[in-house]
Amino acid sequence: MQSLSSKPKLLIEPFAGGATIALTAVCENWVDHALIIELDPDVAAVWQVVEAGDALALADCILTFDLTYDNVQSELAKEAKTTLERAFRTILKNRTFHGGILAPGSGLIKAGEAGKGLASRWYPETLAKRFTALHQVRHRLTIECRDCMPVLERYKDDAQAVFFVDPPYTAGGKSAGKRLYAYFELNHNNLFEACSQLTGDFLMTYDDADEVHDFVHQYSLMSKLVPMKNTHHAPMTELVIGRDLTWL
Ligand SMILES: C[S@@+](CC[C@H](N)C(=O)[O-])C[C@H]1O[C@@H](n2cnc3c(N)ncnc32)[C@H](O)[C@@H]1O
């Protein structure tokens, strides 16, 4: 993304997950509105609850939950009947499963960080504060639970929209995306093609894989390796990709 001279009207985060960038951009007033798209209905439920004006109810569920192994297990064994229940289960899993991983095969933390067991990543007050803050900006958030590719097509000619694209990392046979997300299948060539046709500015992040470098070259984009930390706080690098990264 070039350094932006004026505030963008719309930030689109097509692979939302935790939607860190879109939510930060709205809360910090960097953009007027964010559109977040998420294919996994369990993950999308969290943002649908915020959009529907129920973030305070979700905060309340978090604050009043008594976190024990038995309570977590019986909560997760129940069938979620409402979007609020579904969203709460997603938050509970995200905070009590190994590495916050929701994909099938993941399971409850045992020893946890600093031997704190199941509660090692359960910070109810912090979570409740976040949802309370999101409740204030809910009118500036739109969520769509669906495949993001047609949405990229819909906004292709919109010069007022900017995009932050953080897909599951499965390009070049890399398996991180498969392990981390229930919905990981993606045609990376189609995604690169769609992004290269956007009128608005965009930033993508990717694993540093040969196939990704080939796409960058094929679609005449720029890439830079930037340092980051993974879910276990281990330092690593990832690729940032855009049309013009001379500002980075
Ligand atoms: C790398 S994560 C995004 C992480 C996010 N940037 C964050 O801050 O947490 C990728 C997300 O894309 C979702 N996803 C996968 N395929 C998708 C698709 N075709 N359309 C929309 N979302 C998709 C996955 O369910 C996952 O939540």
Convert the pLDDT of each residue in 175-216 to its tens digit: 677 778 888 889 999 999 999 999 999 999 998 999 999 999
Asked which of 72-81, 135-144, 211-220, 224-233 is least confident by mean pLDDT, the reply is 224-233
Q: What is the pLDDT of residue 137?
A: 98
> Considering the domain boundaries, does residue 46 fall inside one?
no
Task: Please tell me the distance from the alpha carbon of residue 241 to that of residue 190, in angstroms, as a whole number.
Answer: 15
Q: Is the CB of 39 under 6 A from ligand 1?
A: yes
Compute the average pLDDT of residues 219-229.
93
Compute the average pLDDT of residues 45-67.
98
Reported confidence tier of residue 110, pLDDT bands at 50, 70, 90: confident
The residue contributing the CA closest to ligand 1 atom 3 is 17
> Considering the domain boundaries, does residue 47 fall inside one?
no
Q: Among 135, 154, 187, give the residue marking a domain's end.
A: 135
> Considering the domain boundaries, does residue 2 fall inside one?
no
Report the CATH number that the domain containing residue 220 is assigned in CATH. 3.40.50.150
Compute the average pLDDT of residues 16-30.
96
Max mean pLDDT among 54-58, 120-124, 174-178 falls in 54-58
Task: Please check the confidence at residue 69 and state whether its pLDDT lies above 80.
Answer: yes
Q: Among 104, 135, 166, give the residue marking a domain's end.
A: 135
Same domain, 228 and 171: yes
Task: Please tell me the distance from the alpha carbon of residue 170 to that of residue 188, in angstroms, as a whole number.
Answer: 8
Q: Is the CB of 18 under 6 A from ligand 1?
A: yes
Side-chain-side CA neighbours of 74 within 13 Å: the count stands at 6
| Structural domain count, the chain | 2
Compute the average pLDDT of residues 67-95.
94
> Considering the domain boundaries, does residue 161 fall inside one?
yes
Tell me how far the alpha carbon of residue 248 is from its chain's centroid: 22
Asked which of 13-27, 37-51, 114-128 is least confident by mean pLDDT, the reply is 114-128
Same domain, 214 and 169: yes
Same domain, 164 and 220: yes
Domain span holding position 66: 57-135
Task: Please tell me the distance from the alpha carbon of residue 11 to that of residue 200, in angstroms, as a whole number.
Answer: 10
For residue 102, which of 114, 117, 88, 91 has the smallest C-alpha distance? 91
Q: Are 239 and 188 in contact (CB under 8 A)?
A: no
The phi, psi pair for 168, rounded to 5°, reads -60, 135
pTM for the predicted model, two decimal places: 0.92
Report the separation in Å between the CA atom of 178 and the middle of ligand 1, taken as the mean of its atom positions: 12
Same domain, 127 and 163: no
Atom of ligand 1 nearest to the CA of 177: 1
The residue contributing the CA closest to ligand 1 atom 18 is 147
Task: Please tell me the distance from the alpha carbon of residue 72 to that of residue 76, in angstroms, as a whole number.
Answer: 6
Task: Please check the confidence at residue 135 and state whether its pLDDT lies above 60.
Answer: yes
Q: What is the pLDDT of residue 112?
A: 54
The residue contributing the CA closest to ligand 1 atom 24 is 183
Q: Rounded to 10 degrees, what is the CA torsion of 147, 2, 134, 169? A: 40
Q: Is the CB of 40 under 6 A from ligand 1?
A: yes
Tell me which of 174 and 222 has the higher pLDDT.
222
Q: Is the CB of 37 under 6 A from ligand 1?
A: yes
Reported confidence tier of residue 219, pLDDT bands at 50, 70, 90: very high
Atom of ligand 1 nearest to the CA of 37: 21
